[in-house]
Amino acid sequence: MTDRRRSVAAAADGFARAFTVDDLIAAARAHSPGIGIATVYRAVAAMEGAGALERVGSRDGSALYVRCSEDEHHHHLVCTACGAVAHTPCPLGTNMPDSAHEGFVVTSHQITLYGLCAACAGTGAVRG
């Protein structure tokens, strides 16, 4: 891993909430001022491919990511007001739907749950 990619990974580690690539660029430039936009995008693609970042929806037309270090299969709860992210066990458990009768064999799935975290629910915050 190059020093620039380490800077991007360190910046991603600094987020406790979901973030966009633009958020990540700003954070990475705080660690490494000369880092280029293309470098960050390439690092995001590599980290997503390796499972270190996971896409958890979008905000204002930009993809939202979360730094994911969980080894076990899981999903995410995303606060639509503040962007807080929590891990949750897979609601399907080990029982994948039997869709072979429709001509499909399920090979993977993605579930993201959206709502308000306890702090935002207590304040009545709403964001879509």
pLDDT at 108 exceeding the cut of 80: no
* Percent of the chain clearing pLDDT 90 (strictly above): 38
Domain CATH code at residue 119: 1.10.10.10
pLDDT at 128 over 60: no
**Rounded alpha-carbon distances, angstroms, from residue 1 to 32, 48, 91:** 15, 15, 35
Range of the domain at 8: 1-128
Identity of residue 78: V
Query: Tens of pLDDT along 59-105?
Result: 888 999 998 776 777 888 989 888 888 888 887 766 666 665 677 77
Name the domain count of the chain.
1
Q: What is the pTM of this model?
A: 0.76
Q: Give first-to-last CA distance, the chain, whole Å.
A: 37
Q: Let me know: does 47 contact 9? Beta carbons within 8 Å.
A: yes
